[in-house]
């Protein structure tokens, strides 16, 4: 099956990708059915973007996200967490 199924066997099968996103939404807006994203997780919200990469054959690395970047920016915290994240996912 595999490459014979729709959306499988893309030309970038040896590649990986990582999403780094910033949101004005606070983290609490996700995974809560009473809030804007209707209970969807961050990854659910990004699922259409993940499918594009999957169609090309790429494999995901763990996403990185900064929340509440306009109303409550914590730039030093974001940079610190990004450094840890990159070391983790890139085995640095």
Give the tokens for residue 34.
């009473």
Confirm if 21 and 65 have CB atoms less than 8 A apart: yes
Give DSSP secondary structure letters for 54-88.
HHHT-EEPPPEEE-STTTS--HHHHHHHHHHHHHH
- pLDDT per residue as tens digits for the range 19-29: 999 999 999 99
Task: Give me the CATH topology for the region 2-89.
Answer: Rossmann fold (3.40.50)
> What pLDDT is recorded for position 6?
84
Q: Which of the four pLDDT bands, split at 50, 70 and 90, describes residue 1?
A: low
Q: What is the pTM of this model?
A: 0.83
Give the number of C-alpha atoms closer than 13 A to the C-alpha of residue 58, restricted to the C-beta side.
13
> What pLDDT is recorded for position 9?
80
* Contacts for 89 with CB less than 8 Å, ≥ 6 apart: 18, 61, 62
> What pLDDT is recorded for position 2?
56
- pLDDT per residue as tens digits for the range 63-78: 999 999 999 999 999 9
């Amino acid at each position: 099956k595999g490459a014979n199924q729709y959306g499988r066997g893309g030309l970038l099968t040896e590649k990986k990708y990582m999403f780094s996103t910033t949101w004005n939404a606070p983290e609490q807006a996700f995974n809560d059915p009473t809030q804007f994203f209707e209970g969807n997780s961050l990854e659910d919200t990004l699922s259409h973007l993940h499918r594009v990469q999957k169609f090309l054959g790429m494999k995901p690395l763990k996403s990185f996200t900064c929340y509440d970047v306009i109303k409550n920016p914590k730039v030093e915290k974001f940079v610190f967490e990004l450094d840890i994240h990159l070391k983790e996912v890139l085995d640095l």
